[in-house]
Amino acid sequence: MVADNNGNGDWLTRRMALKSGAIGGAAMLAGCMGGGDDGNGNGDGGPSGELVQERVEKSFTKSLHRGTYGMDNASWNPFDPSNEMADFDPPGLIYDPPLVHYQSHDTFQGVIANNWEDEDDSILVELNDNWTWHDGDSVTVHDWITDLDIWFAISEITSPDDNPSTYIGDYEAVDDYTIRFHLRDDFTMESVLINEIANGPLIIKEDVGSPSFGEWRDDLVDVDPESDEATELVSDFQEWSPEIDEVVGNGPFELVEVTDTSFVTEVYDDHPNADNIYFEEYVIEHHEDQVLAFMEGAVDAIGLNLPDSPDVMEQLPDHHEINRDFDHLWSILFNFGDYSWSDSPASDPTNQPITADENVRKAIAYALDRDQIATSVPSEYELYELPPTFLNQTAVDEGLVDIDGYDNYDTDLERATELMEEAGYELDDDMWYDEDGEPAELELLAQSGTSVQVDALDSVQYQLNEFGFDANLNAVDEATYGESRFNGDHDLLFDNHPVFSIMGMTFVDFVWDWFSQLNHIDYGDEEWEVSDEIGNPDASGTMSINVLDEIEQLHLTGDDEYVQRLTWWYNQALPMYGIVIAGDYGAIQADEWHVDGPDELLDNRVAEFNLTKIPDGELIPYKE
């Protein structure tokens, strides 16, 4: 059962209520906060139904998000190439970011930063001078600049022909608590905040480590970037990590102990939000099956991995949902077969996919029945009912893009036949053949251990074979899947990407670089011709679209026109064909914990951490 957690934004914080004498008991507070029936199913909330009014000796336990994160031997160097220090694993608990971007709501929340301004061709960020590292030193912009210096120096050594940042040309400390970022172009502040400043925690403290981050910075900045010494220095630095007893955080919890299965922290009393934390310890534990651990009460929270199967969901205890908007769209991704561009991941490609032809891609879409595929996959996946775009339903409902006239590619075998004939194929004895008499073969690649991939592509294979393709499903192990998809050993994949925000799909340096490797097409270089009348696929004129140029203009202007053009290109070029939506949210046990906060906080990633960082977030135990 899901406890009521409406988070309507019209709340009275616990701290304010206690200070103003607005409540005669914690049970009243639970009602004021929108907690409703947030306990054991009877509406009382917890064993007593009352919230504690001061900090108690209690631990809050969360299952480790990534089972591969080495608790006791993880790197504490954010420049480690394996990128272990993701902000929703243990570092996200002991370090704070300058600000948080609530992606699905497209709003910002200051954490260490208390002000940010757009000034001409620069952005000024001011830090709160109340923040300290866990050794008592103030958090200043000088630590942030150490991080930036290292980043820019490594880029100059390893990628001298590329800019370290798409957005930031230079930076300077205005004073101890103010930093100015000089921009490469007149980008919108929102784009720079999202892509460069928000969410990532401030991890590097200049004097941490032996040698310290500051000493590494000096060496990296001073070395001749073209020398062999520089290359070796970068390698040495990326392999180095502070020892665990050298780690110093700046978040609401400080490190106490790390074992091979747990990460134990306790409240840092000098944190600005410490007075709003009503339990002593926050522990992150490794569990092989996170959902099972939550179901059995072994942990108080899981960050993701819900929903599970209906049988499992029925057995879950009463809980609050968190990270509620992190939906993923599972799509058919087509291989364009371009292996010649400079950053192609293909090492020895031999497959020349017929899906490089736009008419073939569209024929496949028209030949498929999305409903049939959706009924073939596990029941926790829901049919994606929008036309092919990278949009979610919220973006459409709010009128961000007008999708009237977009192709929905509903099943139409007659149209699919026309498109195959336009592509030069001929149907003979219920099989499609090309001009050389070769059958129209399709290689479908899936990961054998991922049921949604296998089940979906099994349905796709059946439908496409019925239409006349010679489709083969190759279900392989995880390692082979990773290698094969990068090598282009497929015509179709069934993979997923987030659809929780428009900006999440328009990162210049990340999302489309990733799609380039799966679609095997250089999105940075390719010019696409699509109908110049958005909403009319049959218009006589065409316009040229370069995906990354459109994204750059979106980030420069913030104009939704470029989202409209990008979604129209996506709909007509059809690099992917969305099939089903999958939620990927987390939960907190409701029988022992009261949870409340703004919708923005609860809907977006790492709410389990932000509830302890943000004054309006509430994670409070019930009295026993």
Mean pLDDT of the chain: 88
Segment 475-524, tens digit of pLDDT:
999 899 999 999 999 999 999 888 866 665 665 556 888 899 999 999 98
Does 17 score more than 60 pLDDT? no
| Amino acid 69: pLDDT | 64
CA distances 606 to 91, 301, 550, 613, Å, are 12, 11, 30, 11
Evaluate whether 196 touches 184 at the Cβ level (below 8 Å): no
User: What pLDDT shows up at residue 5?
Assistant: 41
For residue 263, the cross-strand partners are 258, 284
Tell me the per-residue pLDDT of 328-358, one tens digit each, with 9 for 90 and over: 899 999 999 999 998 899 999 999 999 999 9
Please report where in the chains the tokens 């990162």 appear, as a residue. Answer: 507
Name 353's bridge partners.
none
- Higher pLDDT pick, 63 / 10: 63
| Fold entry, domain 96-246 | Dipeptide-binding Protein; domain 1 (3.90.76)
CATH architecture label of 14-67+251-320+590-621: 3-Layer(aba) Sandwich (3.40)
pLDDT band at residue 293 using 50, 70 and 90 as cut-offs: very high
pLDDT attached to residue 497:
85
Pairwise CA distance, residues 448 & 583, whole Å? 21
Average pLDDT, stretch 438-455?
A: 96
What is the C-alpha separation between 601 and 105, in angstroms, rounded?
Answer: 9
Rounded mean pLDDT of 552-572?
A: 91
Cβ(445)–Cβ(485) under 8 Å? yes
Q: Which class is 328-582 in CATH? A: alpha beta
Average pLDDT over every residue of 430-458: 97
The pLDDT value given to residue 365 = 98
Mean pLDDT of 35-40: 36
Q: Where in the chain is the domain with CATH 3.90.76.10?
A: 96-246
What would the two tokens of residue 180 be?
Answer: 């100015």
Residue 314 near residue 2 (C-beta atoms within 8 A)? no
133 CA to centre of own chain: 27
Count H helices, E strands: the chain?
20, 25
| CATH 3.10.105.10 intervals, the chain | 328-582
Each residue's pLDDT tens digit, 248-290 = 999 999 999 998 889 999 999 999 999 999 999 999 999 989 9
**Boundaries of CATH 3.40.190 in the chain?**
14-67+251-320+590-621
Q: What is the C-alpha separation between 277 and 54, in angstroms, rounded?
A: 9
Q: How far apart are CA 410 and CA 412, in angstroms?
A: 6
